[in-house]
Structure 1
């Protein structure tokens, strides 16, 4: 559905653009009151056209009556078309040249100031091409009528030339001024429209950047809080359940260490939201290494194993995604597999990619993590480095998370598209 622009929207955009006020008191008045301006122009045109006609020589009785009635009506009708010069700019131009032809046929050769205003209006409110076309066709029509009347003796050579020359001069002046003003006005309108588009694009870019930053903070906070709290809960439950005071003390100490580490990471992450002038971390918070994640889960009493094959020089962005994938996979196994007896983490490096896999058993359902933010965040992380990630059941009671991350330098993807690796 197309959205209609309101006056308040235009005013707000003009305020943001900081457009200057139109110069001159009269120009601002005409801009605010276009109907009044058109009525005054029409009245002035009627006055300047009828005043010379009053000084014409008297005609014989029948023609004097005809001219006294028809002449003012024709002038009024032609000049009244100026009231539509903004919406139908071609109408006054046609009326102006038709009025000159009427003057020739009525035996009173001459031109009306309507030509000036009509040519100007057509060039400003229509187009330069239409103004020049109307000028050419109008002069040709007046010249043709004047030539025909000259051949038949309807007008003298001097009267015909005066009419044609006055038509050319008035029409040319109005068209030239209108073309100059119209082109400048259209250029200014195009610049203003482009500036408005840039304002809209700037706001859209700001909204996209804010949304991307919120998503990044949400992913980092989820990874920090989810993994750390899962380990702390497991250690606390183990400390409460064991009768061995030494093991309970060690579990409590490990839980406190995990909480302090999570608090440090969270403080570093929340630093980007501060408004003071202190230096803020612009890079993502460094995740725990896969080995540290596995050791933390082992200290919490979970049967986690780590297998690494091959070596490679991993870019920082891929290393960050790799660490978070392992962390989230192990955390989901600890949280959603109550009867887990095996959590296997395997990382394989090759020349062009790194493969990571987290497999666990003890799953009681098939919707593990389906409604949370963890797997969605991992999919976005993998897509950011042009990788692929898949997570789902792998047999009865088993869950498998598999990802393939390329090591070659690529431009980060803008739209995450998870794919099932084959």
Structure 2
């Protein structure tokens, strides 16, 4: 809640929330001009209190005689000063609601010496301000304290000067003061609860908007990472194989072998182009040729065959039956593809590249070993990190390490099993 703002003002300012416009032309006007509203309220309380101050009277025992009333101008001046101070304090009732209430209570206490109604308007507005800009608890405590204090003070003062009227005057003061604070408290509690309820709804709406934006950013970041992994797997593997094939074609004098190498490079390029086109089609939003299904799994046999056509000593051994869900099959294919690609790129003189895929009941294990590893001259890329992320998304794990000129890659992906009773 702002210091001088209304909930309606915040509704108008929060365009992102797309809330309806608050009803009431007059209400919106007061909400937009809080200072002008406070000035009008202070002036109204001042004008309503001045007549009571000018008519203040007290019994002067030294005057014309018993029961005669005479103006007591000095006391009236005190009342006028309290009225002015209370009216001025009403200008800051939004920030310091206790100040105008304390001054209004002091003004009400002057009725002990000279009965008047100058404090009633300010007391009503000050009690209302306590409930709206303070809290209901403070408002109730202050209202009860004011009523009891003024009543007891009246009873104590009259018990000394006129005991016969003490009880009647105390009851009159109690009902007069109690009615004033009761009216202000009832209206203030109603309006204050409504303001706090609206403020809570707006705060919750803002939190939901922030959470929505955060979720959108997280989803966009996850999608960018997924696209980066797919792009890396497609481009890195295909270009590595194409480079190896074209270098082999240029290094051999056998025209048939060179032709086979260039044909294999062209086939690899066409396959990469098709995969790239399929992946980019998923990103399109115009509804034209945008497949909803994910990319087809890349069989490990295909990655090994491509590397063998490029002249690399790659062997593949598979155990078990590969009846696994499509996401796991896709991940296994990409892991084998990236592992073989890394071996081709970083160990071009390798004498062996072994790929083992074991399908079990509970998991799938992939092992790739190769020798001929050279010291790394460039910082590590994104391939292994992407494989680790891909395995982690399926609840698995991936480790890789180099030792004694040999590179080892191990991956394990669990196979989920349907819970009994699921359709």
TM-score w.r.t. length of structure 1: 0.88
Instruction: Give the aligned partner of residue 207 of structure 1.
Output: 217
1:391 aligns with 2:391: no
Q: CA deviation at 1:57?
A: 4.7
Instruction: Give the aligned partner of residue 89 of structure 1.
Output: 97
Q: Which runs of 5+ in 1 are unaligned?
A: 1-9, 411-422
Q: Which residue of 108, 115, 138 corresponds with 1:108?
A: 115
1:244 aligns with 2:251: no
Instruction: Give the aligned partner of residue 268 of structure 1.
Output: 278
- Between 1:244-253 and 1:190-199, the stretch displaced more is 244-253
Q: CA deviation at 1:362?
A: 1.0
- 2:321 is paired with a residue whose SS is coil
Q: CA deviation at 1:88?
A: 1.3
CA contact (8 A) 1:357 1:400 kept: yes
CA contact (8 A) 1:109 1:163 kept: no
CA displacement 1:60-89 (0-9 Å, x = unmatched): 589723123212112212232212211111
CA contact (8 A) 1:232 1:259 kept: yes
CA contact (8 A) 1:103 1:109 kept: yes
CA contact (8 A) 2:105 2:146 kept: yes
Instruction: Give the aligned partner of residue 416 of structure 1.
Output: none
CA contact (8 A) 2:101 2:123 kept: yes
- Between 1:322-331 and 1:109-118, the stretch displaced more is 109-118
1:27 aligns with 2:27: yes
Whole-angstrom CA distance in 2 between matches of 1:388 and 1:21: 54
Q: Which runs of 5+ in 2 are unaligned?
A: 1-9, 64-69, 419-423
1:230 aligns with 2:247: no
- 1:112 is paired with a residue whose SS is helix
TM-score w.r.t. length of structure 2: 0.88
Q: CA deviation at 1:31?
A: 2.1
Q: Which residue of 362, 372, 378 corresponds with 2:387?
A: 378
**Aligned pair count?**
398
CA displacement 1:250-291 (0-9 Å, x = unmatched): 111111111111111100000122231235234432242001
Instruction: Give the aligned partner of residue 160 of structure 2.
Output: 152
CA contact (8 A) 1:85 1:91 kept: yes
Q: Which residue of 83, 103, 118 corresponds with 1:75?
A: 83
- 1:376 is paired with a residue whose SS is helix
CA contact (8 A) 1:99 1:112 kept: no
Q: Which residue of 331, 355, 358 corresponds with 2:365?
A: 355
Whole-angstrom CA distance in 2 between matches of 1:151 and 1:87: 39
1:179 aligns with 2:189: yes
- Between 1:277-286 and 1:306-315, the stretch displaced more is 277-286
Whole-angstrom CA distance in 1 between matches of 2:46 and 2:12: 41
Q: 1:139 to 1:63 in 2, by over 3 A?
A: same
Q: CA RMSD in A?
A: 2.3
